[in-house]
Structure 1
Amino acid sequence: PIVGLHILGHASDTLVEPFVVAGADTLRCVADTLLAGYYVRLGEPVDSVRVGFNLREGQHFMVTGLLPESSFNGGVRVVSTGVNGARTTTWTDRCPEFDRELALVKPDIVLLGLGINDSTCPAKDFKPEKFKNNYRKLLSRILEQSPDCALVFITNNDSWRYVRRRMVHNDNGAAVRQAMMELAQEYDGAVWDLFTIMGGNGSATAWRDAGLMKNDRLHFTREGYELLGDMLYRAITEEE
């Protein structure tokens, strides 16, 4: 059950404030200048809420995250971040509030599944050291906020990429895998080797034929994502 909600983001002016509808209650959010967002404490625990904004012409509110507070102190809390098409540099160069927001989460374990959009180029143009340096910049920010958190690197899936409105195979999967293996060794992290689990180079076609990837052989189907989620969960929670 949800007992509170942090709404992270930026308003165009001080007159723009979010509100939360929880059951029959409509609650005003209080500005949290320390975290660059708003917070509301609910009157009683609920399973879901609706967030709204009273906006006039010319006003806007950019939501950068929603972080619910639970009344249950045990178990596992999962927080995800990421948008379609993002690169590693999206976090290092375009997310100035990333550090403050990460401090609010205080993760015990960070799963790093970035990198496929960093490698959508011909094999001759992929630079492993540049790839690793971009990752190092991100990792330094993560470890500054959570120095004791465990790191799990998820290697890229085998994939195809767009070139002039057509799809060609992305030949950088093995090189990205090697770069992540080296980063994991450097940072004493673990690796969930998705690239090898799939079958390595060229395996995206077999996954598409099995209904686990879409026709672009880049994105998974719902069934594919559910399978990967189940395998990752088991890899983390089950002892060998």
Structure 2
Amino acid sequence: MASVQTSGGAEGQAPISVDLNELNDEFSLESVQTRPGQNHTTLFGFSLENGQPGVLYHCVGVNGAQFSHYRDAQYFAEQTKGLEPQLIVVSLGTNEAHSAALTMTEFYTNIDALVQNLQKANPQATILLTTPADSYKRRTQANPKMAEVRQTILNYASEHHLPCWDLYGITGPAAFWKKNHLITSDGVHYTRKGYELQGNLLYQALMQAFNDYATHRL
């Protein structure tokens, strides 16, 4: 077991990196008071890495989250830079489509604010937007706002020269998901197989883009 002692700066600042001399499957942390009056420690999270090549994947998700929530999260964009991401996939929009008060002008502004925050913190990263899969309103009713949300995301990506993966355009209306038993009874969330299908479709799109890049690069 490795024992790690660290002293960080102010909340929300750059993460602390600790290099261990050998691989470990356990470690312990001890908080140390670094200034008078300090009476608590805040741990935002850990990224455990072994130094081997490959894909390092992180994800964050909160039920009910919208672009505006991540825009307003105090440390969100700032702390992403500690991961040194090469690709950031932003997959939001479903909850906005269920907000009766939200206009597409406001939605566009919210997309822009979050993207700018992420770009400022990670100028080296590519930001990939996705459109949400379709879902129902009140369990069974078609939700016309889903199409508006999808088009707003597509418009923003086009106007700001960002890649966009159009899941809504690939799979079409929610009837596709219902017919194939891939959406739950609430008409919004998907079954395990439904989410697996979305993940596999995104993986295939990313790999195709990478293989096309590698082929034409040679």
Higher helix share: 2
* TM-superposed deviation, 1:137: 0.8
TM-score scaled by structure 2?
Answer: 0.78
- For the 8 Å contact 2:183–2:194, the answer to whether it is kept is yes
1:124-139 → structure 2 map (5 Å cutoff): 125-139=101-115
- For the 8 Å contact 1:45–1:71, the answer to whether it is kept is no
- For the 8 Å contact 1:208–1:215, the answer to whether it is kept is no
Q: Match of 2:82?
A: 104
- For the 8 Å contact 2:14–2:82, the answer to whether it is kept is no
Q: Match of 2:203?
A: 233
* TM-superposed deviation, 1:36: 6.6
Q: Match of 1:67?
A: 47
Match 1:88 to one of 67, 71, 86: 67
* TM-superposed deviation, 1:169: 3.3
Aligned AA (1:198): T
In structure 2, distance between residues paired with 1:161 and 1:52: 47
- For the 8 Å contact 2:129–2:153, the answer to whether it is kept is yes
* TM-superposed deviation, 1:161: 3.7
Q: Match of 1:188?
A: 161
TM-score scaled by structure 1?
Answer: 0.72
Q: Match of 2:146?
A: 173
Task: Map Cα deviations across residues 6-30 of structure 1 (whole Å, 9 max, x no partner).
Answer: xxxxxxxxxxxxxxxxxxx263442
In structure 2, distance between residues paired with 1:217 and 1:49: 42
- For the 8 Å contact 2:5–2:30, the answer to whether it is kept is no
Aligned AA (2:65): A
- For the 8 Å contact 2:70–2:114, the answer to whether it is kept is yes
Aligned AA (2:161): D
Runs of 4+ in 1 over 4 A off after TM superposition: 36-43, 48-54, 59-63
- For the 8 Å contact 2:2–2:26, the answer to whether it is kept is no
Task: Map Cα deviations across residues 18-62 of structure 1 (whole Å, 9 max, x no partner).
Answer: xxxxxxx2634423226376665445324x6588899xxxx9876
* TM-superposed deviation, 1:192: 0.9
In structure 2, distance between residues paired with 1:28 and 1:151: 34
Q: Tell me: CA distance 1:38–1:107, structure 2 relative to 1, closer, same or farther (3 Å).
A: closer
- For the 8 Å contact 1:214–1:221, the answer to whether it is kept is yes
In structure 2, distance between residues paired with 1:212 and 1:60: 45
Aligned AA (1:121): S
- For the 8 Å contact 1:32–1:39, the answer to whether it is kept is no
Partner SS, residue 117 of structure 1:
helix
Identity of aligned residues (%): 27
Unpaired stretches in structure 2, ≥5 consecutive residues: 32-38, 213-218
Task: Map Cα deviations across residues 78-123 of structure 1 (whole Å, 9 max, x no partner).
Answer: 1212211111111122x2112331120122111110121122134x
Q: How many residue pairs end up in the alignment?
A: 201
* TM-superposed deviation, 1:160: 2.0
